[in-house]
Amino acid sequence: MKVKFAPSLMCMDLMNVQNQIGILDQYADYYHIDIMDGHFVKNLSLSLDFVKRLKLITNIPLDCHLMASNPEMYVDQLIEIGADFISLHAETISGQAFRLIERIKQADIKFGVVLNPETDLHAISSYLHLVDILTIMSVDPGFAGQKFIVESIDKVRLASSLKADKQYSYEIAVDGGCNKKTYKILRQAGAECFIVGSSGLFGLHENLNLAYELMLREY
Ligand code: DX5
Ligand code: ZN
């Protein structure tokens, strides 16, 4: 199966959004959009309003990675804006997971779950059969350009064998430090989608067309 690439838009040139989206639209499988609350992670990045405006200029599916301590505060807005995937952190939905999943699925939107590097797959075993995209963080969430955490490779491997054993339908995505140093080992472990940020895509060349070509060549 062909591997997918999801550019992480917090790493794009934000002074040049329309132009960059025009280029990325030719290649991207999804757009990965980091939305932070400054509490669950100590940073802020893209906003709900950004997603709303982006939706007007692209048809590429938008995967909204919500890093917020109270995700229930934002889910309705994300549904209304027309996010294609709503990806919530397992660490933030305990006690309300099934309620949120139902709300998302009823709106005909795909449900994603994201695991911090230290969170075990067992934490989400009760609802894994409902997951459309499983994102394994390979850096601590919140900041681009961090060092890849090698321990996440085993988690990708485990997610992949579990998927095969139980016939789950989730797609396995990796977020953080996906680049030429890590593609191969992650692919072998079972990664199906790479979220590419600074080292994987945007930092490769100032010309984004060339950066994308370089990325595909490095892969
Ligand atoms: C971190 C973000 C990532 C980040 C990846 O919280 O979720 O999407 O942008 O960036 P790199 O590829 O630079 O690690
Ligand atoms: Zn992310």
Q: Is residue 5 part of a domain?
A: no
- Per-residue pLDDT at 114: 99
- Per-residue pLDDT at 192: 98
Q: Is the pLDDT of residue 219 over 90?
A: no
Q: Is residue 7 part of a domain?
A: no
Q: Is residue 152 part of a domain?
A: yes
- Per-residue pLDDT at 1: 78
Which residues line ion ligand 2, judged by CB < 5 Å? 34, 65, 175
Q: Region 178-186: what's the mean pLDDT?
A: 97
Residue 151 pLDDT class (50, 70, 90 cuts): very high
**What CA–CA distance (Å, rounded) separates 50 from 35?**
10
Q: What is the best residue among 66, 139, 147 to mutate for testing ligand 1's pocket, by most ligand atoms within 8 Å of CB?
A: 139
Binding-site residues, ligand 1, Cβ < 6 A:
8, 10-11, 32, 34, 65, 139, 141-142, 144-146, 175-178, 195-200
Residue 37 pLDDT class (50, 70, 90 cuts): very high
Which of residues 188 and 219 earns the better pLDDT score?
188
Q: Is residue 204 part of a domain?
A: yes
| Ligand 1 atom closest to 141 (CA) | 6
**Whole domain around residue 213: which residue ranges?**
13-218
Q: Is residue 76 part of a domain?
A: yes
- ipTM of predicted assembly, 2 dp: 0.96
Residue pLDDT, tens place only, 115-136: 999 999 999 999 999 999 999 9
Q: Is residue 2 part of a domain?
A: no
CATH of the domain at 82: 3.20.20.70
Question: Burial, 117: exposed, middle or buried (Cβ in 10 Å; 0-12, 13-18, 19+)?
Answer: middle
Q: Report the length, in residues, of the chain.
A: 219
Residue 152 pLDDT class (50, 70, 90 cuts): very high
Number of domains in the chain: 1
| Ligand 1 atom closest to 179 (CA) | 12
Average pLDDT, the chain: 97
Q: Region 92-100: what's the mean pLDDT?
A: 98
- Per-residue pLDDT at 122: 97
Q: Is residue 6 part of a domain?
A: no
Q: What is the 3 state secondary structure string of the chain?
A: CCCEEEEEHHHCCCCCHHHHHHHHCCCCCCEEEEEECCCCCCCCCECHHHHHHHHHHCCCCEEEEEECCCCHHHHHHHHHHCCCEEEEEHHHHCCCHHHHHHHHHHCCCEEEEEECCCCCHHHHHHHHHHCCEEEEECCCCCCCCCCCCCCHHHHHHHHHHHHHHHCCCCEEEEECCCCCCCHHHHHHHCCCEEEECHHHHHCCCCCHHHHHHHHHHHC
**What CA–CA distance (Å, rounded) separates 137 from 209?**
27
Q: Is residue 1 part of a domain?
A: no
Q: What is the best residue among 5, 9, 11, 194 to mutate for testing ligand 1's pocket, by most ligand atoms within 8 Å of CB?
A: 11
**What CA–CA distance (Å, rounded) separates 171 from 163?**
9
Kindly list the catalytic residues: 34, 175
> What six digits make up the tokens of 49?
């309003």
